[in-house]
Amino acid sequence: MARLVSLVRNLGGVALAAGVVSEFCLYDVDAGNRVVIFDAISGVLPGIYPEGTHLKLPWQVRLTCYGNAHNDYGLLQWVDSFL
């Protein structure tokens, strides 16, 4: 019985740690967006993070999300004016 209680306690600790990591240390970049990262120690980090799930340090990193969806309607209208 003591082994069962110990096993349940360990599994509860693992589940709690996984929940904390998934809530505070993971961020998701939606399709059509990009993220620029500001680090509290070194400033703006080089590079742009594409869509997907990424890892961050919540007390050190601030995220800024930019949309980069392209609208081809304006380009088609511009090209049609020359034809």
pTM for the structure as a whole? 0.53
pLDDT digits (tens, 9 = 90+) for 54-72: 888 777 777 777 776 655 5
Q: Please name the helix (run of DSSP H) or strand (run of DSSP E) that holds residue 4, with its range, or none.
A: helix 2-24
DSSP E strand boundaries for the chain: 26-29, 33-39, 43-44, 52-55, 61-67
Q: Any idea what DSSP says for residue 63? A: E
Q: What is the pLDDT of residues 15-54, one digit of tens each?
A: 888 887 777 788 888 877 888 888 888 888 888 888 888 8
